[in-house]
Amino acid sequence: MNNNLLNIIKEILAKTGDTVLSEPRRVSAFLSDLAQGVPKPQKTALIKCLEHGFAQVLKNVAEAERARCKQSLAQRLHEKEGLDLALCEKTLELLAAVFFGEEPKIHEKNHIAKPTKLVFPISQPVPLSRVTSVAITNYFSTIDRDKTLEFYAKVNGENNPPKSVDWKVSGNTSSQTYIDSSGVLSVAANENSQTLTITASSTFDPSRSCSVTVTITSPPNPPKQIAPNFCHKCGTKLEPTSKFCSNCGVNIFCKKCGASREDADEKQLFLFKITVCGKCGEKF
């Protein structure tokens, strides 16, 4: 086998790595540029050997089986492509020299190697992981507003699937009600919803999930009351936090529902007119 071809192959692998041997067309392009002085049959035999994947077979075979493997692969290359058997043997020796640093053997003229049947072990398929179910293990059915509650989830499956989950809360009215990536639920003080749904989904298989419902027991905090700019009765300027007029003493908000006096209505009661809340009808 041409030592020049051996050096060229080593140069190609030094630049690109061994993986290029799984790309025969790319190697052929390199040889067209770098190995113009190498006889064409030698280049053809090398490319055909790569196309059949023989290079990877030889690279992965045990050292004790290497000699028999080269003979068997050379015979198969000869039978598949109709190439000269001696040329096929030299091609396999070239690859052995590239991979293992073996010195190429000198072949006698018209030498014909006896083919040896080589049996390679069949690799067993790697079992795939699969998620069968997700369960929320600490299920608390109630929570108060302005409180937190931590949830835990268990992922069940085959062949050790990832145990992580994505958490989600739905049914909330406040953006301040949320559940973080660790499963800690925070309920806002102004949350108006009565129930929340907590869902844990497998990150490995999002189609596997578990959901529970949590009831919010405490009432929501009342909205902050802001007084109008002026008293509707005497016109005195009011502070935003005023509950009644500092001049005439009239109530600014309904004592029952907290509605502003600006929403009040006047109603006739016998000979008198009275002012009532426009929302709940309570007398001011």
Distance of CA 239 to the CA centre of its chain: 54
- Let me know if domain 130-216 sits in CATH 2.60.40: yes
Task: Tell me the mean pLDDT in the region 86-112.
Answer: 70
What does the CA dihedral 197, 203, 204, 208 come to, rounded to 10 degrees? Answer: 0
The percent of residues in the chain predicted with pLDDT above 70, rounded, is 72
Q: Which residues pair with 272 in a beta bridge?
A: 269
pLDDT tens by residue, 147-206 = 999 999 999 999 888 899 999 999 999 999 999 999 999 999 999 999 999 999 999 899
User: Which backbone phi and psi does 42 adopt, to 5 degrees?
Assistant: -65, -45
pLDDT at 143: 93
pTM summary value: 0.40
pLDDT at 265: 53
Tell me: pLDDT of 145 over 90: yes
Q: Which residues pair with 6 in a beta bridge?
A: none
Tell me: pLDDT of 110 over 90: no
How far is the CA of 246 from the CAs of 75, 218, 236, in angstroms? Answer: 110, 35, 8
Distance of CA 27 to the CA centre of its chain: 36
Domain boundaries, the chain: 3-100, 130-216, 223-284
pLDDT at 113: 47
Calpha distance 1→77 (Å, rounded): 16
Average model confidence (pLDDT) for the chain? 79
More confident residue, 87 or 247: 87
Tell me: pLDDT of 221 over 70: no
